[in-house]
Amino acid sequence: MSSPSASSTHPTGAPRPAHPHEELLDHLARTTALGPSEAARVVADVLAYFSESTEEYVRRRHGELQAKGLTNERIFERIAQELPQRRVRAAELSARQLRRTVYG
pLDDT of residue 50: 81
Give 3-state DSSP helix, strand, coil % of the chain, rounded to 5. Answer: 60, 0, 40
pTM given for the model = 0.58
Cα 29 to Cα 75: distance, rounded to the nearest angstrom? 38
**28: how many CB neighbours lie within 10 A of its CB?**
19
Question: Along the chain (104 residues), what's the average pLDDT of each consecutive run of 10 residues?
Answer: 42 59 90 92 88 90 97 97 81 91 92
